A and B are shown apart, each in its own frame.
Chain A
Amino acid sequence: MPDQNLLEMKGIEIQFPGVKALDKVDFSMKKGEIHALLGENGAGKSTLIKCLTGVHHMDAGTILFDGKEIHPTSPQDAFSMGISTVYQEINLCPNLTVAENIFVGRQPMRRGVINWKEINRRAQELMARFHMDIDVTRPLNNYSTAIQQMVSIARAVDIDAKILILDEPTSSLDDNEVKLLFDVMNELKAEGMGIIFITHFLDQVFAVSDRLTILRNGTLVGTFDIHDITKLKLVTWMIGKDMDVIFNLKRATVDADAPEMLKTENLGAPGQIQNVNLSVKKGELVGFAGLLGSGRTETAELIFGAVPATEGTEVINGKQVSIKKPLDAIGAKLAFCPEDRKRDGIIGDLSIRENIALALQAKRGFMHPISLQEQNEMAEKYIKMLSIATPDAEKKIGELSGGNQQKVILARWMATQPDLLILDEPTRGIDVGAKAEIQRLMLEMCNDGVSVIFISSELDEIIRCSNRIIVMRDGKKVGEVNGEDCTQQTILSIIAEGTQEGASA
């Protein structure tokens, strides 16, 4: 029965306080199918998945799995039925070995003790199946994020899973690793496994999936065969608006005689990064391109004092400043949205209002509190301005979707009225609509005279927004190109060659 649906979810409804998270959503999947689940942040993708894995309780609807109705009550429950999930954040123990991580909780036993030989042998086999030749007896944190991600997938499929849910598995992988993952996905598909694939990378959707389902604002837009839909159509359906309106972004204009906002000379912290020479004009948007680990983040941290500089000079608005900690940088009207939103950005248990007021409050010191009324006004203003999707300002930031969390962090810094805003991967892991909104905000701020340093791994957005692009490699600046007349090819060849001359030759 190849046509019988492996999974069928019908009329799913979930009510959260104040919002209907899912409204009569249908979802079905065949055996041996890769099915992409798409939608903006807050569209209800994760809610639907959590419904299937028993995290959320459905208010209405049925789930048929292999023809039988199921009521998963917890992730463990769903797991034992054969529904495995791999989350975006890696949920493994970094100090255990690879093999231990794969078998933790279900170690093969022999005469009442754990059979280590068996564990290591089976782990090695499993990883080999993923074309990974690694030492499974070494601790997990010895390996890169990509390998850790593979380990968590290996763990998920080793149990006789019939459905594998991959929630944004590729956001921390590079191109080769993504390809590897796709090979594995195709192998699993050939074995008859159904894979639900959630991602923000539309190219990947077209590269690997068979069908796709689009959600918008908790309702079903439709399920389509991959061959019957174009990328443009897809985006339009996802955001419910025409692409052109959103993507009509104009680069900021910078006067030739605009004053210099930031200038660094040989700034450095030995052991981290050295010899940072950089200048940013008022109202200019400077993009940092380069591979992961090329020193982009380190440069930003150095400028902001997250890592204190021990040598060189930093001049802001014509005045030499000494920045030893982030508070000094905030005092000098700098702002910094870090790369890892969860670890370095949000204060999960505090409300949106408190999160927005945090940096300004820190700048003023705790003895000069921002009154509740001011905080409320501030929160209302930014919720409206950045169209943050929330019932009210008292909601915990940890309960928002990634894109909305990013907007709150952005609001936190906008509230300090910075002269220079450093954004490290502000659009990572958020959907097309929110991405475009953040780009638009960045450019608007430039037009208001704020300088922006924009770090991103996605070359097209760097090229689309930047006035000037600095290309980095191995902790050094290897090239600088004008944003107007530059293509992905130029940047890629600078990265590859390591020098600008090499690229133009």
Chain B
Amino acid sequence: MKKKQFNISNIMQSKITWAVVAELLILLVCFIIRPDFFSIKYQPATGMLYGSLIDILNRSAEITIIAMGMTLVIALAGTDLSVGSLVALSGALALKFLRWDVLIYNTPGDYTVKPFILVILVPLAVCILMGLFNGFMISRIGMQPIIATLILMVCGRGIAQIVTNGKQFTTLYSPFRVIGQGSLFFLPMPIIITIVVVAAVSLFVRKTAFGTMVESVGINPSASRLSGIDSRKIIMIVFALTAFLSGIAGLITASRVMSNDSNNFGINFEMDAILAVVIGGTNMAGGKFSLAGTVVGSIIIRTIITFVYYFGIVSEATMAFKALIIIVVIVLQSEPVRARMAKMGKKKVKGGVQHA
């Protein structure tokens, strides 16, 4: 087999290159203003590493995890708006099972009422069911993804409220705390979970033929069907997977604050996840996707937010600042700009050959 040729023009044209460049530029600005931005310290008390970089990775966990599924959804030329609500629902279910006794005992403690395994599995299972519902509405009923998932986006938080009777529960159960606040190999647990999820999803889509089939259905559904691809099954799996990943993100979010909050958990997560996918270079029109790009996209979003907090920019300006940087990244990735960059790269290569 021939090896792919190393080609500056290709690299200059690849979208992920520009996402990485953007991330490095933001970090560079951080470094120039505050050289200690990059410092990472070990804190023996918690057994964890601390620092802005660790914090960025830690705080981007939920979006990265959800965006893995969102990448596949967008590759199918769809969108999933329900992920934020599912985060809230997952958190509510977990706390409900931890504090089944809340109507009798009001003080939280280091205990769980229902078995811990249910605290984890029930929210995830419910999320998968919700995802299958999304997939069913889209693949069988023929609804547009944005409409079908809007249903759960709107009523998911309502279901979460019903689960907890509209109340906010708190818990001190230490095994549950491990999910969002624990550590492994000196790293915060959310980072470890993210690494596992990213690896598992990447292996699943690229080591099986699932990824190619998703792209195929996203590019040309009719031709895919005639080639024997069961697009309904693919859609069901992708939406169920995305909902499952939202469930995991919900558990992390709930564990970080050891509480549930159906009104505020996962707010705007759907937008951030879509944004991460787009910054990562996957086209909203469907087709070819890049999971690695999405990871970078998610990290960029978090870096911007951290940057804003770190430098004490008024929090009201966060959104505007975020928008500004995202515009720059998207413009850098746009077709005309990349084509121009590729041309410049080509010229340089030609020159190099002549000199050699």
A residues whose Cβ falls under 8 Å from a Cβ of B = 304, 306, 325-327, 329-330, 336, 338, 343-350, 354, 357-359, 361-364, 366-370, 373, 376, 392, 412
Is B223 touching A361 in the complex (CB atoms < 8 A)?
no
Cα A367 to Cα B223 in complex, Å, equals: 21
Contact at A326–B1, with CB atoms within 8 Å? no
Residues 206 to 234 of chain B near chain A (Cβ within 8 Å): 207-210, 212-213, 215-216, 219-220, 222-230
Which residues of B1-32 are within 8 A (CB) of A?
A: 1-2
> In the complex, what distance in Å separates the CA atom of A338 from the CA atom of B207?
30
Closest residue of chain B to A351 (Cβ to Cβ) is B212
Contact A361 B230 (CB under 8 A): no
- Closest chain-A Cβ to B293's Cβ sits at a distance in Å of 16
Chain B 219-258 per-residue mask, 1 if CB under 8 angstroms from chain A, else 0: 1101111111110000000000000000000000000000
A325 vs B222: C-alpha distance when bound (angstroms): 12
B288 / chain A contacts, CB cutoff of 8 Å: 349
Does B156 belong to the interface (CB within 8 Å)?
no
A344 & B226 in contact (Cβ 8 Å cutoff)? yes
Contact across chains for B210 and A347 when beta carbons are under 8 A apart = no
Question: When the two chains form the complex, which single residue of A327, A346, A367, A373 contacts B228, counting CB atoms closer than 8 Å?
Answer: A327
State whether B224 touches A347 (Cβ < 8 A): yes
Which residues of chain B have C-beta atoms less than 8 A from A329's C-beta?
A: 228
Question: Do B227 and A349 touch across chains, with their CB atoms under 8 A apart?
Answer: no
B228 engages A345 (CB within 8 Å): no
- Closest B residue to A364 by beta carbon equals B209
Contact call B219/A349, Cβ cutoff below 8 A: yes
Knowing A347-B216, A349-B288, say if A326 contacts B223 (CB, 8 Å).
Answer: no
Chain B residues with CB under 8 Å of A348's CB are 219-220
Q: Which of B2, B220, B225 contacts A326 (CB 8 A)?
A: B225
Complex CA–CA separation, A31 to B208 (angstroms)? 59
Contacts of B224 on A, CB cut-off 8 Å?
A: 347, 358
Contact of A362 with B229 in the complex, beta carbons under 8 Å: yes
Contact partners of B209 in chain A: CB under 8 A: 361, 364, 366, 368-370
Interface string of B281-297 (1 = CB under 8 A from A): 00000011000000000
A392 and B229 within 8 A (CB): no
Tally of chain B residues near chain A (CB < 8 A): 23
Chain B residues with CB below 8 A from A349, complex form: 215, 219, 287-288
Once bound together, how far apart are the Cα atoms of A326 and B210, in whole Å? 18
Query: Of residues A304, A350, A364, A370, which shows the largest number of chain B Cβ atoms within 10 Å of its Cβ?
Result: A350
- CB neighbours (8 Å) of B2 from chain A are 392
Contacts A347-B224, A354-B216 known; list 17 others, CB within 8 Å: A326-B227, A327-B229, A338-B226, A345-B223, A347-B223, A349-B215, A349-B288, A357-B212, A358-B229, A359-B227, A359-B228, A361-B212, A361-B213, A362-B230, A363-B228, A367-B208, A368-B208
User: In the complex, A348→B286 CA distance in Å?
Assistant: 12
| Cβ B212 vs Cβ A350 within 8 A | yes
Top 9 A-B pairs, shortest CB-CB distance? A362-B228, A330-B228, A327-B228, A366-B209, A369-B209, A366-B210, A359-B227, A362-B229, A358-B227
A130 smallest CB distance to B (angstroms): 32
**Could you say which residues of chain A place their CB within 8 Å of the CB of B212?**
350, 354, 357-358, 361
Q: Assuming A349-B287, A362-B213, A366-B210, is B1 touching A373 (CB within 8 A)?
A: yes
Given A361-B212, A369-B207, A369-B209: A346 in contact with B220 (beta carbons within 8 A): yes
